[in-house]
Chains A and B, each alone.
Chain A
């Protein structure tokens, strides 16, 4: 399969996951980028952010009108995200992501079990 076709399938899958869950598109993109499209791992992470950004913006329009996103109460989270993004950009090239991913895996499994059983 050509790389263009692979990219189309990858993008469509990531868009679906990101739109359905309101998150997680990157977790589809990165493995597909690395294994299927043979991107360098660091580039795969950075490129996933570039793809998810516009897709999240599109999904947000629907979430905003269908849900009740109350901006008034979430501004500390938004500000935290802003600061976190700046830090991430500055240190990205110097950080080894394997360790972070293990911690992330543990946290996510804990949360996933709570979500499955609606705890």
Chain B
């Protein structure tokens, strides 16, 4: 039964992740709140899950000509060093503190998303 719930959660957050709406954050919340997974491990699971989820969505996005290739390429090159630095930082910080910071971050994002304008401006 747990397997089915996990699959459905993965599916629902997967659709959002494929859209780029933040399914990963929801998955981490599910894992930490309902499955009791520590924050850092949940984040690791989410990163792995995104590697499963993103490729098929990306292929479609490419076919639909939805990806700004040049912008993406520059962002990736700039993002790799900061990704590594931030991952190492997260690995050494206290897990509960990490979870609290994550909560504050999500609170800001959540309030912003709630008041998104009709025309969809972020």
Contact = CB atoms under 8 A, between A and B. Distances in A.
A115 B96 CA distance: 9
Interface in B60-74: 60-61, 64, 66-68, 70-72, 74
A36 to B, nearest CB: 10
A9 B82 CA distance: 11
A85 B12 CA distance: 9
Contact of A58 (B9, B68, B80): B80
A22 B47 contact: yes
B3 to A, nearest CB: 5
B114 A92 contact: no
Contacts of B115: 105
Given A19-B90, A67-B40, A83-B14, A47 B83 contact: no
Contact of B122 (A15, A44, A47, A112): A44
A49 B61 contact: yes
Q: Tell me the dominant secondary structure on chain A's binding face.
A: helix
A80 B16 contact: no
Interface of B: 3-4, 6-29, 32-33, 40-61, 64, 66-68, 70-72, 74-91, 96, 99-100, 102-107, 109-116, 118, 120-122
Interface of A: 3-4, 7-27, 29-31, 33-35, 37, 39, 41-60, 62-64, 66-71, 74, 76-90, 92-93, 95-98, 100-102, 104-109, 111-119
11 contacts: A4-B74, A11-B76, A19-B84, A23-B47, A31-B112, A39-B71, A55-B76, A84-B11, A84-B16, A98-B120, A108-B29
Given A80-B10, A84-B16, 5 more contacts: A49-B54, A54-B76, A102-B116, A108-B106, A112-B103
